[in-house]
A and B are shown apart, each in its own frame.
Chain A
Amino acid sequence: MASDTLSASARADAEISGLDALEIAGREKGPSRVRRLWSATWPKLAALALAVAIWQAVVWSGWKEPWALPGPAVVFGDLGEYLLSSALWEGLATTARRAAVGFAAAVAVGLLLGLVVARVKVLRAALGSMITALQTMPSIAWFPLAILLFQLSEQAIFFVVVLGAAPSVANGVIHGVDYVPPLLVRAGRNLGARGLNLYRYVIAPAALPAIVAGLKQGWAFAWRSLMAGELLVVIATRTSIGAQLTYARELSEAPRLMAIMIVILVVGLLVDTAFGAADKAIRRRWGVLDQAGN
């Protein structure tokens, strides 16, 4: 009798693991890492090559004088020089510091604002649509007011960066909290998460993808606002990427001007890619990544 029960339970174990093995078979197959990387990269490289080719074609067509529109070879040559100069790195240091401080302030304001608006019904009615309205305001339109309030100073720049980026961050938080699946909240409450613990263990992690999307969008706004600010609010004693761009225009140094633009584009792209990677990592963990891997 005893051995009977034993074999019955052993059979049950075998059935269970057999079923598990059958059901999850083939779930984890996918193309190799190198292959995935290559299939994601080559279209981008091809697009880049095409853009440079079109640029070169326009230069060859003689549409503009070479001193106004230099060709890729000249610009990339100047970019190489620029990358080796201390001017770039000094300017980049100032700009990066402003971007970091401004974006951090915007994130702090946005997270706080988003959380409060998501939680308090009255504030949502009062501020919800206003946050979205703020988002549609072109950030450059804030500068005259910013300069009146703070003169030509870094504060003026930070003011506009925060106004530009914080609404996106706040909207990300609001959206994230709104769309936490109610079932997960019920499960969390049943497992003993109440009050602040419910936020810590369920709502915050469940809202994370939307929050990261908000951060990504906020970064794009912050970077644009910062560049607009550095072009308008030129502080003579402190060089920055934006200030150098203004000088290059004033001195009609077209190759340098375009080299600086490429730097701005690349920096914005790099940070955006970092947010994109974070977003992708989250979605992969969650198992909501689509087959194409985008």
Chain B
Amino acid sequence: MTSTTTTPRSATGSVALRGVTKVYGQGDQAVLALDGLSLDIAPGEFVCMVGASGCGKSTLLNLVAGLDRASGGTIELGEGVNPGLMFQEPALFPWLTVEGNVEVPLKLRGLPRDQRKERVAELLRTVHLSEFGRKRPHQLSGGMRQRVALARTLALETPVLLMDEPFGALDAMTRDILHDELERIWTERKLTVLFVTHNVREAARLADRIVLLSSRPGRIIYSTEVAVPRPRRIDSPEVSAIAAEVTDRLRKEVGRHGQ
């Protein structure tokens, strides 16, 4: 078994997965979560990963983020790139204000105070939360908290953003608006995004490319480019057509487990 390595060969912002395997447990108890998964993401590309339960989506993001080790295969990122990770929950620190939360990664990078203040103000403007810097997370709505989490992740100034169903807990209206926001920020900052979701429409709304993962073990079974021009609407016929196509494939995959 080879261990995961981050090699400096790739371009900044690119993500290259080669035969990534993840096994949990040992012996008879061992569960194969990811089975030789390979995926190339170009710098600036927006990839949505769709799959039913148990496809190892979250596992994969953890591996790419370096929070867990792969059992085999390699994960290549640009030199010195530490991807930012967002979760379904905002995971904000309740003991800090909104500003304080966004400031954490800047503090950890050792930025001096005046620069930190400037960056925090700029990031809060980016997510339209300038007026709420002094609030505490519990005083905000779910969508606002998720935007704070986005600003905090952007503070890492990383070219690669990993998102683990970040809008899964929000109502449809809020989610629509956050799609627009994310698309704008992604374009402005030329980010590479790997976005995991089980919402096929969301994938079709956001992605340059959708990849479909099989369940137990996770493997890429289908991949399609989304050639719909931006800006898109989630309820446009083109987006709906792509969503329908991916949904059919997904259902076929789920059905396979029922036989």
Interface residues of A (CB under 8 A from B): 8-9, 12-13, 15-17, 19-20, 23-24, 27-28, 183-184, 186-193, 197, 201-202, 205-206, 208, 282, 285-288
Whether A15 lies near B177 (C-beta < 8 A) is yes
**Chain B residues with CB below 8 A from A201, complex form:** 93, 104, 107-108
Q: Give Cα distance in the complex from A77 to B157, angstroms.
A: 70
Assuming the A-B contacts A17-B128, A192-B105, are A187 and B177 also in contact, with contact meaning beta carbons closer than 8 angstroms in the complex? no
Among A19, A187, A202, A206, which residue has the most Cβ atoms of chain B within 10 A? A187
Instruction: Name 16 interchain pairs, CB-CB below 8 A, sorted by A.
Output: A12-B177, A16-B177, A19-B174, A20-B143, A20-B144, A23-B144, A24-B140, A186-B67, A189-B67, A190-B65, A191-B104, A191-B105, A191-B108, A191-B152, A201-B108, A202-B93
Whether A183 lies near B89 (C-beta < 8 A) is yes
Which residues 135-166 of B sit at the A interface, judged by CB distance below 8 A?
136-144, 152-153, 155-156
**Chain A residues with CB below 8 A from B132, complex form:** 20
**Chain B residues with CB below 8 A from A191, complex form:** 104-105, 108, 152-153, 155-156
Nearest CB of B to A121, in Å: 19
Whether A19 lies near B156 (C-beta < 8 A) is no
Does any Cβ of A come within 8 Å of B182's Cβ? Answer: no
Q: Give Cα distance in the complex from A19 to B181, angstroms.
A: 13
Which residues 73-124 of B sit at the A interface, judged by CB distance below 8 A?
82, 84-85, 87, 89, 91, 93-96, 104-105, 107-109
**Chain B residues with CB below 8 A from A208, complex form:** 95
Whether A187 lies near B87 (C-beta < 8 A) is yes
Whether A286 lies near B94 (C-beta < 8 A) is yes
Which residues 181-215 of B sit at the A interface, judged by CB distance below 8 A?
181, 184
Whether A183 lies near B87 (C-beta < 8 A) is yes
Instruction: From the candidates B138, B143, B174, name the one contacting A287 in the complex (CB within 8 A).
Output: B138
Rank and list the top 9 A-B pairs by shortest CB-CB distance, nearest first. Answer: A287-B138, A23-B141, A187-B91, A192-B108, A286-B94, A191-B105, A190-B85, A205-B95, A16-B128
Q: Give Cα distance in the complex from A79 to B32, angstroms.
A: 75
Q: Give Cα distance in the complex from A67 to B89, angstroms.
A: 67
Count of B residues near A, CB < 8 Å?
39
Does any Cβ of A come within 8 Å of B180's Cβ? Answer: yes
Q: Give Cα distance in the complex from A202 to B65, angstroms.
A: 18
Question: Interface digits, B40-58 against A, CB 8 Å rule (1 contact, 0 not)?
Answer: 0000000000000000000
Q: Give A8's nearest chain B residue, CB to CB.
A: B231
Whether B141 lies near A24 (C-beta < 8 A) is yes
7 more contacts with CB within 8 A, not counting A191-B153, A286-B94, are: A8-B231, A16-B181, A20-B141, A23-B142, A23-B144, A23-B174, A201-B104
**Chain A residues with CB below 8 A from B93, complex form:** 184, 187-188, 201-202, 205-206
Q: Give A192's nearest chain B residue, CB to CB.
A: B108
Nearest CB of A to B58, in Å: 11
Q: Give A202's nearest chain B residue, CB to CB.
A: B93
Whether A192 lies near B109 (C-beta < 8 A) is yes
Q: Give Cα distance in the complex from A9 to B126, angstroms.
A: 13
**Chain A residues with CB below 8 A from B174, complex form:** 19, 23
Assuming the A-B contacts A23-B144, A205-B95, are A192 and B139 also in contact, with contact meaning beta carbons closer than 8 angstroms in the complex? no
Whether B139 lies near A287 (C-beta < 8 A) is yes
Does any Cβ of A come within 8 Å of B30's Cβ? Answer: no
Nearest CB of B to A162, in Å: 29
Whether B91 lies near A19 (C-beta < 8 A) is no
Assuming the A-B contacts A13-B128, A191-B105, A192-B108, are A19 and B95 also in contact, with contact meaning beta carbons closer than 8 angstroms in the complex? no
Does any Cβ of A come within 8 Å of B173's Cβ? Answer: yes
Q: Give B105's nearest chain A residue, CB to CB.
A: A191
Whether B139 lies near A27 (C-beta < 8 A) is yes
Whether A183 lies near B104 (C-beta < 8 A) is no
Q: Give Cα distance in the complex from A287 to B136, angstroms.
A: 8
Nearest CB of B to A155, in Å: 39
Q: Give A184's nearest chain B residue, CB to CB.
A: B91
Q: Give Cα distance in the complex from A41 to B142, angstroms.
A: 35
Whether B136 lies near A19 (C-beta < 8 A) is no
Among A13, A192, A202, which residue has the most Cβ atoms of chain B within 10 A? A192
Assuming the A-B contacts A23-B144, A24-B144, A205-B93, are A192 and B177 also in contact, with contact meaning beta carbons closer than 8 angstroms in the complex? no
Whether A28 lies near B91 (C-beta < 8 A) is no
Whether A287 lies near B144 (C-beta < 8 A) is no
Whether B108 lies near A193 (C-beta < 8 A) is yes
**Chain A residues with CB below 8 A from B231, complex form:** 8
Q: Give Cα distance in the complex from A202 to B93, angstroms.
A: 8
**Chain B residues with CB below 8 A from A17, complex form:** 128
Whether A190 lies near B84 (C-beta < 8 A) is yes
Instruction: From the candidates A9, A15, A183, name the one contacting B91 in the complex (CB within 8 A).
Output: A183
Whether B156 lies near A192 (C-beta < 8 A) is yes
